[in-house]
Amino acid sequence: MLIAVGKNRLWKKIGGRLTIIVYGCKIRKEVIGVLRLERDELNPFSMEDAELLAPLANAAAITLSKATSLELAQEEIVERVQAEEALLESLRLIEQAKQEWEASTSHFAFGI
């Protein structure tokens, strides 16, 4: 049996023994995770307990969002470093080819 206690909170009784409160961790209107509390008792949580989850779920959502943003930024930095290294290698190879070409053609005399 599920008993809704708010927009994004839920109490769930399983077999009359385990009680779970689940609160959605939201960023804007997107749920990016859940905060879940369990007790092996019948009705151990009050409405006040459920209301205390709101700031914790909000803090968890912000932390998850920041961690995801940091991870994406780190991945982008790695990709940019790899692209820069590939570009520098290409420039080195072009310079080497230019020097080899100049060395191989330096003995020709061009005149008009």
Query: Which pLDDT value is given to residue 15?
Result: 54
Where exactly are the structural domains of the chain? Answer: 2-74
Query: Which pLDDT value is given to residue 76?
Result: 96
Confirm whether pTM is higher than 0.85. no
**Which residues sit opposite 33 in a β-bridge?**
25
Could you read off the pLDDT tens digit of each residue along the chain, which spans 112 residues? Answer: 334 444 455 555 555 556 778 788 888 888 888 888 777 766 777 778 778 888 888 898 999 889 989 999 999 999 999 999 999 999 999 999 999 998 888 776 665 5
Query: Which pLDDT value is given to residue 111?
Result: 57
Task: Single out the residue of 54, 7, 62, 13 nearest to residue 35, CA to CA.
Answer: 54
Within 10 Å of residue 53's Cβ, how many Cβ atoms? 22
Task: Single out the residue of 93, 94, 33 nearest to residue 58, CA to CA.
Answer: 33
